[in-house]
Amino acid sequence: MSRFRDSAGGEGSILILSAPSGSGKSTIIRRLLAASPELEFSVSYTTRAPRAGEKDGKDYVFVGPKRFRRMVAGRGFAEWAKVYGNYYGTPLRPLQVARRAGRNILLDIDVQGHRKVRRRCPEAVSVFLMPPSYRELTRRLKQRKSDGPEAIARRLRTAHQELRCWSEYDYVVVNDDVRRAVRALNAILTAARLRRENQRREIGRILKRFGGS
């Protein structure tokens, strides 16, 4: 059994969202979380420096390479990867706790992380968020003003490789309009919640009252 699965059933869903940097993932996640307070966000660890406005413990847990390596050695991550020259990892513990409590948890991870999580947890629901065009992606990265020209060039180069992975995901959403994209994500989330395996506990309770089951 994988380290973050509980075969008893009736657990919360894992929803994975991946996209090339600058596609609008954080923007959409912020709105999604505001609209769905019951949805939990998996706060990753990273060795990259915080951007203006990012809060430690909320957007990421910002750590140095030493602490990150300690977490890897202590098997503290469900998965980790090097992305755009920095290290990022999904802490295992909050994932296990959320799943056992039947809460849905959202993972903002890259294409490598998606592959690793899906291998261990094939029932995870995954969404690839696409920018509407290369030109618009470039515009959004520049407009964000959080990365220098070199970092932007690196993110755009990697975007080409990441985009090729779109077909590995369950759903693809093009982020041309934020509101439309959030609506699409909400629909996917609703469908994930309605999966029969995610309703075992609730259905069990209803059936019990029928006396039979």
Binding site for ligand 5GP (CB under 6 A): 18, 21, 44, 48, 79, 81, 83-84, 88-90, 108-110, 112-113
* Residue closest to ligand ADP, measured at CB: 24
Nearest partner of 20 among 159, 135, 114, judged by Cα: 159
Q: Of these, 22, 114, 124, 127, which contacts ligand ADP (CB under 6 A)?
A: 22
Residue 154 touching ligand ADP (CB under 6 A): no
Residue 25 touching ligand ADP (CB under 6 A): yes
| Binding partner selected for residue 12 from ligand ADP, ligand 5GP, none, CB under the kind-specific 5 to 8 Å limit | none
Tell which positions 168-207 bind ligand ADP, by CB under 6 A.
Answer: 175, 177-178
Q: How far is the CB of 204 from ligand 5GP (least distance, A)?
A: 33
* Residue 91 φ then ψ, to 5°: -65, 135
Rounded CA separation 201/94 (Å): 21
Nearest partner of 75 among 47, 101, 96, judged by Cα: 96
Residues 6+ apart with CB under 8 A from 112: 79, 81, 83
Q: How far is the CB of 140 from ligand 5GP (least distance, A)?
A: 12
With respect to ligand 5GP, which residue has the nearer C-beta, 11 or 59?
59
Tell which positions 107-146 bind ligand ADP, by CB under 6 A.
Answer: 140, 143-144
Whole-angstrom CA distances from 102 to 40, 78, 94, 96, 198 are 11, 18, 12, 10, 8
* Residue closest to ligand 5GP, measured at CB: 113
- DSSP summary character for residue 104: -
Rounded CA separation 40/135 (Å): 33
Interface residues with ligand ADP (CB under 6 A) are 19, 21-27, 140, 143-144, 175, 177-178
